[in-house]
Amino acid sequence: MTQPPAVLRAATERDVPAILALIQALAEYERMRDDCVATETRLRETLFGAAPKAEVMLAETAEGAVAGFALFCSNYSTFLAQPGIWLEDLFVRPEHRGHGIGKQLLAHLARLAVERDCGRVEWAVLDWNTPSIGFYESLGARGLSEWTTFRLTGNAMHALAGTAS
């Protein structure tokens, strides 16, 4: 039997510095570094506090280097009347790409979805990121061109909530 490309494990609070480093590397790759304001304190609170908002799987090489991660949370499909998994971020460091780590992380999420009786695993990808799009399509995923993603943040979100200062 062949050895898997990486060892996957659930992140713990002690992994927060590594998670932040991966998020920052992802922000660089996505050309969005200025938008990345995550801190260790916020990650510790939102991932490992009293009410965790998401989960993180880390991929480590045989040498113990953190090669990548998947950060995900639950969502819900009213049409399926089932929960789902929303993959917020999947990132493999460039030096570890091409060895199956991304596929290993996605396969793990697919297994979790089956175990948790989820109807689907969903994520978004930047339209210019053709290497990732090709990779996802090679796994059987399909792009949903009939949907447009909307985002409400910052001042607009506070204005709508009635909490603008």
Residue 18 has, within 13 A of its CA and on its CB side, a CA count of 22
Of 17, 118, 136, 148, the catalytic one is 136
Question: Residue 136 catalytic?
Answer: yes
Closest CA to 87 of 67, 101, 102: 102
- Contacts of 24 by beta carbon, 8 Å cutoff, 6+ apart: 33, 36, 38
Separation of alpha carbons 125 and 88, rounded Å: 10
DSSP assignment string, 67-131: EEEEEEEEEEETTTTEEEEEEEEEEE-GGGTTSSHHHHHHHHHHHHHHHTT-S-EEE---TT-HH
Active site members? 136
